[in-house]
Amino acid sequence: MNDEKLRASMERARRFREWCEGDEGLYAVFDAVERNYLDSLMKTDIDDQSTRERIYHRVAALRDLRRAMEAVIADGKSAEAIVEKLTRMQHKRAMRKPKVMA
């Protein structure tokens, strides 16, 4: 992966973290919606299979979306670690003194 792609992945992850995490972030909204769905599930009649399945699939879809967003953030963290390591390696090379042959 080249430097531009790594930095783009880092930036995308940073934006996603800002958008998703925190008290009023998207993850908090997902959690509230999921709690609402699960409360609705508990209130349904045990024989109402159709409604229970719809709620189950909605909860599963929310969880899938969250996992996809978490994967973007994790990819960005990995990219950040790679960029930091490459930067340290470049800095070490620049600091090395060339050997003089006599």
pLDDT, one tens digit per residue, over 5-22 is 888 888 888 888 889 988
pLDDT value at 80 more than 60: yes
Comparing C-alpha atoms, which of 90, 35, 85 is closest to residue 63? Answer: 35
pLDDT number for residue 101: 66
Under a CB-based contact definition with an 8 Å cutoff, are residues 61 and 33 in contact? no
In angstroms, rounded to a whole number, what is the distance separating the alpha carbons of residues 94 and 102?
A: 22
For the chain, give every domain's residue range.
3-95
Under a CB-based contact definition with an 8 Å cutoff, are residues 27 and 66 in contact? yes
The one-letter amino acid at 70 = E
Q: What 8-state DSSP symbol labels residue 25?
A: S
Per-residue pLDDT of 34-78, as tens digits, reads 999 999 999 999 999 999 999 999 999 999 999 999 998 998 888
